[in-house]
Amino acid sequence: MSWKLEDFDIPPEEGKDRFHDFALPEPLMRAIHQLGYEYCTPIQSAVLPLSLADYDVTGQAQTGTGKTAAFLISVFTHFWENPLQEPLPKGSPRALVLAPTRELALQIEGDAKALTKYMDEVTHCVVGGMDFQKQREKLQRSPVDLLVATPGRLIDFINRRDINLRNVEILVIDEADRMLDMGFIPDVRRIVYQTPHKRDRQTLFFSATFNDDVMRLADSWTLQGEHVVIQPESVATDNVEQKFWLVSTEAKAKLLVSFIEQHKPERMLIFSNRRDQTHRLQKYLSKKGVDCEALAGDVPQRKRLSTLNRFKDGEVHYIVATDVAGRGIHVDGISHVVNYDLPEDPEDYVHRIGRTGRAGADGISISFVSEDDAFNLPALEEYLGAPVSCVQPEL
């Protein structure tokens, strides 16, 4: 069945941009239509006019605001408008996206493949914790247009001369602040030096926060980058009801089981601060008849992907996760988030509760506040700009 742009009928609306307004390639518009996108998010409206005009961009936006689609649409439009005269050598991408975690890199790869469903562009992903040889064989099978990578694994491939970055036309650095926190910047710097000079490439640089350290990186890697700031309407998601329950450390696990048995949430994420705590809690819940799985940094990548897919498909209703693992969970329909431990970093709190209340739906976050967690409350209240009211559990 043939598809025409007229099939994608989105009426103009005051104060909103449509993807139609950017003269995007028709095969890309067909994929955008199939994905159910209608109007641009604020970050997309701000970034696309600049990135499509080949400007460097430094963008400040939270996770889940649509920035991945913004930079991918820019990359694939550039490819379409600038076709290669002859194929590049294998392992020599035209665009590179650097991401701090495997989960985020795999998410970007999935989004890229969905957007290029009706285009000939080839996307590959190289990340640590997964079979190196299989990734190598994919690279050797065909030329790659877009490469998505985590820094450490990419350097492994560069050192083996399996990947060459001298033909990169667009460099995307995503979640730069997270890379800084995780100690990846020396690796990222090595990678950036392998690409053409910033005068000879386009650079799109994204970060949830822009402190002095992040700003220095942005200035050194972009050429007069246009700075775009998308402030969330509030620091915490407006459509998430936030509850803080007073509970002793010893009573947390029992309270969680009682809540699950009584309310039977459809899909829930439970966050713990430590890996060992995550595994202990998952085992405890399983013994109590709660069907749940754990996501932590020490869980093998194949199992993590399998768990995530089963969670998305509704086969697993409850997941206990650490923050690193939780960052890769972008699943609509999560009804509840439980902070079994209150995070030490207030930003992690916002990331956690942002897993629910997505795509316009309402969500509920419940934070257990014990005598140990109470030490983290003042910083959280300052970050949220409002006092936190702790109450007895509502069961």
- Is 234 inside any structural domain? no
- Is 88 inside any structural domain? yes
Domains identified in the chain, total number: 2
Complete DSSP assignment for 202-266: EEEEEES---HHHHHHHHHHSSSPEEEE---SSSS-TTEEEEEEE--GGGHHHHHHHHHHHH--S
- Asked if 165 and 254 sit in the same domain, the reply is no
d(CA 234, CA 165): 40
- Asked if 257 and 354 sit in the same domain, the reply is yes
Q: 31 and 196 in contact (C-beta within 8 Å)?
A: no
Q: 156 and 129 in contact (C-beta within 8 Å)?
A: no
Q: Which two tokens stand for residue 184?
A: 């990846």
- Is 38 inside any structural domain? yes
- Is 93 inside any structural domain? yes
- Asked if 257 and 154 sit in the same domain, the reply is no
- Asked if 279 and 253 sit in the same domain, the reply is yes
Residue in 364, 156, 135, 126 with CA at minimum distance from that of residue 268: 364
- Asked if 296 and 171 sit in the same domain, the reply is no
CB atoms within 10 A of CB 118: 14
Full domain range(s) for residue 143: 5-229
In angstroms, what CA-CA distances link 111 with 235, 352, 373? 26, 21, 37
Domain end residue (candidates: 229, 251, 277): 229
CB atoms within 10 A of CB 69: 23
pLDDT value of position 328? 58
pLDDT in tens, 73-115: 999 999 999 999 898 999 999 999 999 988 889 989 999 999 9
pLDDT in tens, 326-340: 665 667 788 899 999
- Is 235 inside any structural domain? no
- Asked if 332 and 205 sit in the same domain, the reply is no
pLDDT value of position 130? 85
d(CA 289, CA 285): 7
- Asked if 167 and 268 sit in the same domain, the reply is no
Q: What's the angle, vertex CA 321, arms to CA 316 and CA 327, rounded to 5?
A: 105
Q: Which two tokens stand for residue 84?
A: 């290669």
Q: Which two tokens stand for residue 263?
A: 């309310």
pLDDT value of position 188? 94
- Asked if 136 and 202 sit in the same domain, the reply is yes
Residue 148: strand pairing partners: 97, 125
pLDDT value of position 61? 80
In angstroms, what CA-CA distances link 74 with 49, 71, 373? 9, 5, 43
In angstroms, what CA-CA distances link 213 with 195, 209, 364? 22, 10, 34
Strand order, beta sheet including 336-339: 292-295, 318-321, 268-271, 336-339, 363-369, 240-246, 390-391
- Is 77 inside any structural domain? yes
- Is 86 inside any structural domain? yes
Domain end residue (candidates: 178, 206, 229): 229
- Is 89 inside any structural domain? yes
- Asked if 370 and 280 sit in the same domain, the reply is yes
d(CA 243, CA 116): 41
- Asked if 193 and 314 sit in the same domain, the reply is no
Q: What is the largest CA-CA distance in the chain?
A: 68
pLDDT value of position 326? 61
- Asked if 188 and 297 sit in the same domain, the reply is no
Question: Which pTM was predicted?
Answer: 0.69
User: What CATH code is carried by the domain that includes residue 101?
Assistant: 3.40.50.300
Domain end residue (candidates: 194, 229, 264): 229
Q: 127 and 105 in contact (C-beta within 8 Å)?
A: yes
d(CA 315, CA 309): 9
- Asked if 182 and 303 sit in the same domain, the reply is no
Low-confidence ranges of the chain (pLDDT < 50): none
